[in-house]
Structure 1
Amino acid sequence: MALPAVAQVTPPGSTTPATPPNAASAQEPAHLPNPNDPGAPRKWSLHFQQTLISQWHNNLTTPYSGDYSLADRESAKLSFTSTLFIGRRLWQGAAVYFNPEVAGGSGLSGARGIAGFTNGETFRIGDPAPNLYLARLYLRQVFALGTATDVDLDDLNQVAGPTPRRYFAVNVGKFSTADFFDQNSYSHDPRTQFLNWSLMSAGGWDYAANTRGYTVGGVFEYVTPGFTARLASTLMPTEANGPTLDFHYGTAHAETVELTKVYHLRGRQGTIRALGFRNVAAMATYNTAIRLAQLTGEQPDVTLVRRAGHTKIGFGLNAEQEIAKNVGLFARVSYNDGKNETWAFTEIDHSASLGLVSTGDRWQRPDDRLGAALVVNGISPEHRAYLAAGGYGFIVGDGALNYGLEQIGEVYYSFALPTYHASISPDYQLVINPAYNRDRSGPVHVVALRLHVEF
């Protein structure tokens, strides 16, 4: 499914002060510091990750189903990804990053039937058979805006060495938009944090990506210690959830802007991000598809009424707050107009989430993470009418609809393994009204086990 990939990396160009060592952030797996001084200047950066997720749901008894419904009964499904992160410093302020990736396996019901889908790693998988492909290849150039410097540690897609505290940066090439936007220390990476799609990213942000989650374009950043502004212009896929990017930039493109502010509340660090986006592509209008179906007597089909130049606009607010030495709180709200079909992420037009993450420091497991969150997803009146008339998107469609908000709760516990480069995480999700359908409310109980290795 077309869910833009989320690199488990420190956000490029992030000047958000580092989370305190014992805070509950799990943006990357917890491990011991590199004894070889990871901040010493280097020319190369080389890292690897592999993530395996096995997921199962209970048997359901539902009155009807459609082509894109969650199956009433199915066996457990396994997904995996392996990524090589290669970085090379070129000249002053410049580096190039290259990420070949292998992905395979499957999500439950082919990653369909729940708008806030339950496995954030399945979006990279267009074919269940293992496939090797280029995930990222981009150039990053940083221009200093002063003499003060900080130190970048050796990390995924980050070469160790001094970096300006204030700067302007240009990133050009192939990447995931989510590498740069909608970051959150507690809820952004399905490889180490929450698995649900609508918890790892803002559900209402239909951000540009092909089926495997990547796009081509440019990201421009203005960065200071307490404030960051980012602007991106990127390509859209040629069709909804399509594998091929549309290089006819004049008729298909996406613009994203985000402002980030770091603050302190009673001595505890917090960050708030405000995001806006506008997508242009050959989308179909839901109402047009419904009117055509009424004339022909057939079920509505968005693929029959697509027209170049249609747009989708929306916004998102994203906040995180450290509330104790080992505990952090996060929240997101997002919205898009929902008049035209979903094109790249998932079929959510508005969403709200709230969650809490803690380290295991209180029970002498400081590298473990415990997270719990709730998310509520909804769709526009036009989108509801389309699904109720028997239409299908690319994620959901039961052939009919008794509308209700999709409600999801998730709890995970990440056990850091003794190697300090691996973790194993049991995960549980409760889904009420999957695909917004009260007639198929279940509820759905989803259990998963995730193994993540990184070095």
Structure 2
Amino acid sequence: MGANFGAGFPSWSGGRLEAGSGFVSNAFDLYAPNHDRAGASFGAQVGYDWQIGRWVYGVETDFNFLGVRHSANGLFPAPASYSPLGVTGYGLTTDESGNYFATFRGRLGFAVDRSLFYVTGGVAAGGWRGASSLTFSNPAPGSLFYAPLSQSSRMKYAVGAGFEYALYDQWSARLEYLYLNQQLQTQVFDNGLSVQFGARQRSEAHLLRFGLNYRLAAEDGAGARSDKDQSDDKKSDEASNGKDAERYSVHGQTTGVVQGYPKFPALYSGPKSFTPKGQARFGSTTNLFAGVRLWDGAGVYINPEISEGYGLSNSAGAAAYVNSSVAKVGRAAPYMRFQRYFLRQIIGLNGGAKESDPDTGSFNETLESTQNQLAGKVDRDRLILTVGKFAVGDVFDDNVYAHDPTTGFLNFAFNTMGAFDYAADAWGYTYGAALEWKQDWWTARAGLFQLSDVPNSEKIEPVLGRQFMGVAEFEARYDLFEQPGVVKFLVYGDNGYLNKVDEVVDFAFLTGNFPPDITNNALRKRRVKLGGGVNVQQQIAPNLGFFLRASMADGRYETVDYTDVDRQLSFGLVASGKLWGRSKDEIGAAMAFSGLSGPRVRYFALGGASVYIGDGALSYSGEKALEAYYKYNLAEGIDLTLDYQFFGNPAHNAARGPVNVFGLRAHAQF
């Protein structure tokens, strides 16, 4: 881990506003000067290296300020073509641009004594252009144009090379060049009267920067860890401390899923339906899980993620959606986001009595026992405080047999309570705090989390406490016929500006505007949506387990941030391959039954659409889902899974289906 500083030099980005709809000629194009210029760059990085002989390879992620993007604010003369309109000039007002960049890169180098020469490349983020206003000197109606934040559909990336030198055992310095391409940024200026301008600006820069790194373990050569170093360090730690407490951890995973279904019968389709003609889609996610121990019991964690591809029907078509391992926000090109960054503090309560507690989150999966967790001994009775950006499901509604779609069930219904309308952005993460109190046979949990700024938004509510979710969970551990089991009781409340479904339907009848629109902001008021459920995990015999979730929510209100379910029952079995001599294989099968409240049935019957469903009409019957999978271990850390899902009444609609979904998942981890 370390810090860097240097300078960035932008490539020419362009400053042209192209006349679009409403204009007859490009003679009406506008030109504004390009204000991008060289500027400072500084930031921080964290990574992990391996070494084989003289070759060093690794991964690295960083976050940096880059002061090269500058807004084109001011007054400018208009082209002569505007003179007949009485327009002599125009003004531009632009908000701050995204003067930062983040990367998730691989690194390959060759070590010579204490020196390392390397190349690097990977996915980048940032570089957007700020929202802008365009005003003409003639104050006639339609002379004010507005453009939101810029968008880019292409992959942002960074490539470069560098030289690193080991100054001392754990300190090294580097000189690095990066070419940063944050792609063509597009904005559309619109005056609300079908007249538009289009602006396209490149966000590219060359960077030269110096860096200083601190290695969290003894180094070999230019800084990579050899197997012997790691073994010696572990023995030294155990001898001196009497325990194996990790100072840092770096883990990763990549999951790719291809799913498809053949044609199926459907009397009609809507904006959020599975297309009845059949379809196949691929999507993937790649994550780095990095953690560092700050002091006794405390660790800080960061998780960059690269996503690519789409879910079936662009992540719509069923309330118990078919794939929770692929981001709902689909894009053809890979894109990167920092999905988690949080602090976790463990406070012991029983005077130092220690026990091993890997806090495993998924049946027989090494990844779940290590990601976002520093190994070590902890008090049996303890408090755990987690603060930052993370997923509500990281703490609540866990189940050892069904919770991780990268290794187990793919369907929503089997990884989370269907009626648990938890706070999240469109990717499933939010800002919040959670406190856990673990005792001998029970655990109590409570948390507060920010809702999205409007339901099902990509943005989290920016004002702390303005819109939030409160959640509490009580867990009891027991033995039943000498087999361990866990039962959890969960309650939650979403406190925010929500639509009441009946009011949306009444408004449609009053105005004659159909179908009713649940996204109508004018009808939203501060309301509290309540819900809860029970979660059971029970070992039947060694290597064979049963799970069950039952949940219900107040169906008078719209879906806030999860899916379109007001009540659900799901249950299933999971068996380890140890039963048939393949210890790392796994097989699972489960069923789920979901339903809607009366107000929501009326809303969808009138053609309304929501987060995941909307067929244009509704012949209501509760949605039924079945899933079965077999996970085959190819090698250490590499699995291939065959998956099958059956849907009866998809989207709670008896007029469509059944649908048979076939899937293949490839998963690798370290």
Q: Same fold (TM over 0.5)?
A: yes
Question: Which structure is larger by alpha-carbon Rg, 1 or 2?
Answer: 2
Question: Among 458, 462, 486, which residue is 1:271 paired with?
Answer: 486
The match for 1:135 is: 339
The match for 1:88 is: 292
Separation (CA, whole Å) in 1 of partners of 2:332 and 2:473: 35
Does residue 75 (structure 1) correspond to residue 279 (structure 2)? The answer is yes
Separation (CA, whole Å) in 2 of partners of 1:62 and 1:113: 12
The match for 2:411 is: 196
Separation (CA, whole Å) in 1 of partners of 2:405 and 2:289: 17
Distance 1:123-1:206 versus aligned 2 partners, 3 A rule: farther
Separation (CA, whole Å) in 2 of partners of 1:174 and 1:352: 29
Does residue 110 (structure 1) correspond to residue 314 (structure 2)? The answer is yes
The match for 1:430 is: 646
TM-score by length of structure 1 reads 0.90
The match for 2:593 is: 376
Aligned partners of 1:251 and 1:308 also within 8 Å: no
The match for 1:150 is: 355
Distance 1:399-1:245 versus aligned 2 partners, 3 A rule: same
Separation (CA, whole Å) in 2 of partners of 1:167 and 1:396: 42
The match for 2:452 is: 237
**Is there any run of 5+ residues in structure 1 with no aligned partner, and where?**
1-33
Q: Which residue identity lines up with residue 415 of structure 1 in the other structure? A: Y
Which whole-Å deviations, capped at 9, do the CAs of 1:357-394 have from their partners, x for residues lacking one?
11122321121111000000111111111000111112
Q: Which residue identity lines up with residue 518 of structure 2 in the other structure? A: V
Question: Among 500, 507, 512, which residue is 1:292 paired with?
Answer: 507
Which whole-Å deviations, capped at 9, do the CAs of 1:245-291 have from their partners, x for residues lacking one?
10233430001100011100111000000000000121111100100
Separation (CA, whole Å) in 1 of partners of 2:600 and 2:536: 28
SS at match of 1:56: strand
Identity %: 36
**Is there any run of 5+ residues in structure 2 with no aligned partner, and where?**
1-229, 359-368
Which whole-Å deviations, capped at 9, do the CAs of 1:3-22 have from their partners, x for residues lacking one?
xxxxxxxxxxxxxxxxxxxx
Distance 1:124-1:163 versus aligned 2 partners, 3 A rule: farther
Q: Once the 2 structures are TM-superposed, how far is the Cα of residue 126 of structure 1 from its aligned partner?
A: 4.5
Aligned partners of 2:493 and 2:531 also within 8 Å: yes
Separation (CA, whole Å) in 2 of partners of 1:281 and 1:262: 34
Aligned partners of 1:138 and 1:173 also within 8 Å: yes
Q: Which residue identity lines up with residue 653 of structure 2 in the other structure? A: N
Question: Among 327, 345, 361, which residue is 2:578 paired with?
Answer: 361
Which whole-Å deviations, capped at 9, do the CAs of 1:67-121 have from their partners, x for residues lacking one?
1111112431001000000010001111101101111110110010100001111
Q: Map of 1:194-343 to 2, 5 A cutoff?
A: 194-299=409-514, 300-304=516-520, 305-343=522-560
Matched residues, number: 420
Does residue 408 (structure 1) correspond to residue 613 (structure 2)? The answer is no
Separation (CA, whole Å) in 1 of partners of 2:646 and 2:462: 40
Between Structure 1 and Structure 2, which shows a larger proportion of strand residues?
A: 2
Distance 1:126-1:248 versus aligned 2 partners, 3 A rule: farther
The match for 2:616 is: 399
Separation (CA, whole Å) in 2 of partners of 1:346 and 1:122: 15
The match for 1:186 is: 401
Aligned partners of 1:52 and 1:78 also within 8 Å: yes
**Greater RCO (Cα-Cα under 8 Å, separation 6 or more):** 1
Aligned partners of 1:138 and 1:175 also within 8 Å: yes
**Segments of 4+ in structure 1 off by > 3 A?**
34-39, 123-128
Separation (CA, whole Å) in 1 of partners of 2:383 and 2:542: 32
Judge which range, 126-135 or 102-111, deviates more: 126-135
TM-score by length of structure 2 reads 0.61
Separation (CA, whole Å) in 2 of partners of 1:192 and 1:404: 31
Q: Which residue identity lines up with residue 349 of structure 2 in the other structure? A: L
